[in-house]
Amino acid sequence: MNQGFLGTQAPFAADVVLLLELAMGAGLLVGAWLARAKRYRQHGWCQSVIVILNLAVITLTMVPSFRTHVLPRIPAKLSKPYFALATAHAALGSTTEVAALYILLAAGTRLLPERLRISRYKPWMRAVLALWWAALFLGFATYARWYVPNLFR
């Protein structure tokens, strides 16, 4: 039955994803510090690995869960925190992941046409980092609402 290990009601996969996401959030901060230290190559690798790993986690675990548990109930049940938090997390999280992938392509490759590339990276990267942590916070709140009894009641 794949029970979790964090002492909540969550399944094993949800606990793994929570820890992975927290680690990825921390990893992005380390990556940002690498850029401040002018170690741009390591910065690029660090952020790229995290963005691609997050894409895999979203595709393999979050999207199927959202499709099964949330999508059939919205918009009718959006007034309930259970569905509202998950939907907000999904909307902000997917927007952030797309923005992160865009920066990855624009900054780390030459795949995009010239007019779609970014010349000033810093504000974009900082904005995506802030969005990432907001999405992470919403994800944590979603986990708490879904799997921790007697919370928010």
Name the residues that contact other proteins, by CB under 8 A.
1-4, 9-12, 68-69, 72-73, 77, 80, 82, 145-147, 149-150, 153
Whichever of 79 and 119 has its CB closer to other proteins, that residue is: 79
* Whether 65 contacts 82, CB under 8 Å: no
Q: DSSP per residue over 9-77, as a string? A: S-BHHHHHHHHHHHHHHHHHHHHHHHHHTT-HHHHHHHHHHHHHHHHHHIIIIIHHHHHHHTGGGTTTT
Q: Which is nearer to other proteins, 11 or 44 (CB)?
A: 11
CA–CA dist 83, 73 (Å, integer)? 8
Q: Tell me whether residue 6 or residue 101 sits nearer to other proteins (CB atom).
A: 6
**Nearest-approach distance from CB 76 to other proteins, in angstroms:** 10
Nearest distance from residue 54's CB to other proteins, in Å? Answer: 23
CA distance linking residue 133 with residue 135, whole number of Å:
5
- 83, 74 Cβ separation under 8 angstroms: yes
Q: How far is the CB of 91 from other proteins (least distance, A)?
A: 20
Choose between 8 and 94: whose C-beta lies nearer to other proteins.
8
Nearest C-alpha neighbor of 138 from the set 83, 76, 101: 83
Tell the smallest beta-carbon distance from residue 67 to other proteins (Å).
11
Q: Which is nearer to other proteins, 133 or 147 (CB)?
A: 147
The rounded distance, in Å, linking the Cα atoms of 153 and 133 is 25
Residue 24 Cβ vs other proteins, minimum distance, rounded to whole Å: 24
